[in-house]
Amino acid sequence: MDRCYALGGSSGYALKGKKMAVALTYGDIDPLRSGAVNALRMFQDVCAYVEAQLVGSVYGTGLEPGDILKNKAVMQEAFELGKALAG
């Protein structure tokens, strides 16, 4: 993420006004213990700093390959987030 700061120049940041989203998986049942909350906050801060529009985030736990695909609620959230990014 620190490399995004290099996208700044005299006219501002190249990401200014761009829509962004976060899709995050983590290998723990607790988003606090896993560090997921810290990662989400970091993305919020970076988007605010470069004046990008954070449309939203979707996240879930996956202890085994394919776990996220089995989570219908998270998959629906990801679909809706994709629509928000596109529209």
Q: CA dist 43 to 11, 21, 32, 40, Å?
A: 22, 9, 16, 5
Q: Count up the domains in the chain and report the number.
A: 1
Longest dimension (CA), the chain: 46
22 is a domain residue: yes
pTM for this entry: 0.78
- The rounded distance, in Å, linking the Cα atoms of 86 and 62 is 26
Q: Which domain covers residue 40, as residue numbers?
A: 2-81
30 is a domain residue: yes
Nearest-CA neighbor of 58 among 87, 86, 20? 20
pLDDT digits (tens, 9 = 90+) for 14-52: 888 999 999 999 888 888 888 899 999 999 998 998 899
13 is a domain residue: yes
41 is a domain residue: yes
